[in-house]
A and B are shown apart, each in its own frame.
Chain A
Amino acid sequence: AQSVTQLDSHVSVSEGTPVLLRCNYSSSYSPSLFWYVQHPNKGLQLLLKYTSAATLVKGINGFEAEFKKSETSFHLTKPSAHMSDAAEYFCVVSRGGATNKLIFGTGTLLAVQP
């Protein structure tokens, strides 16, 4: 079975400081992993994806995530937070195949203080 755990429900950072949003996954298969962002009253937008190529994945808006198999983690980082980064972030795991579905984490709400 697959699952994903987002370790923090809320993260607050100051503008210009680094962002770290933590995600651990569980999968019996080689997973595909994604991060999505949802701004208030908007749909979900794909930030980045890992599909067994390079373990360090670069996404949009300066975000990166590193796949660490030994730690079963896929944490999302950004060197310097911007006010526009304030949103909810979802970590997602997928196995692929005929019975696949995307499994969403519970989300991390990122607040960026001026």
Chain B
Amino acid sequence: DSGVTQTPKHLITATGQRVTLRCSPRSGDLSVYWYQQSLDQGLQFLIQYYNGEERAKGNILERFSAQQFPDLHSELNLSSLELGDSALYFCASSFHEGTEAFFGQGTRLTVV
């Protein structure tokens, strides 16, 4: 158990809908990362937060947004969902930026 909690574990939704994925980082970790993993794209970095501030953006679509709250948990919002958004979404946390990150078990999103 990495100490990073992601909910829900599985999510099935229809195209055009909006979903929110939640991540609770390890106790004491200030940095949160979001990644998308799909068969054709591999593991893609989406976005990073550090102590509530956005620090780095990767291949995150405009339909996606995220935030980190004062209690350090983070949410990833995916809207106007398309079939191609079906993937595993991982959250990771680390104490400092760039130090080793610990991953949650992921949320498997299926868009039908």
Where the two chains meet, the residues of A that have a C-beta atom closer than 8 Å to any C-beta of B are 32, 34, 36, 42-46, 49, 51, 90, 94-104, 106-107
Contact = CB atoms under 8 A, between A and B. Distances in A.
A57 to B, nearest CB: 12
B103 A100 contact: no
B60 to A, nearest CB: 12
22 contacts: A34-B100, A36-B103, A43-B103, A43-B105, A44-B90, A45-B2, A46-B101, A49-B100, A90-B43, A94-B99, A96-B96, A97-B97, A98-B55, A99-B55, A100-B56, A100-B97, A101-B48, A101-B55, A101-B56, A102-B92, A104-B35, A106-B42
Interface of B: 2, 4, 33, 35, 42-43, 45, 48, 55-56, 58, 90, 92, 96-106
A88 B90 CA distance: 15
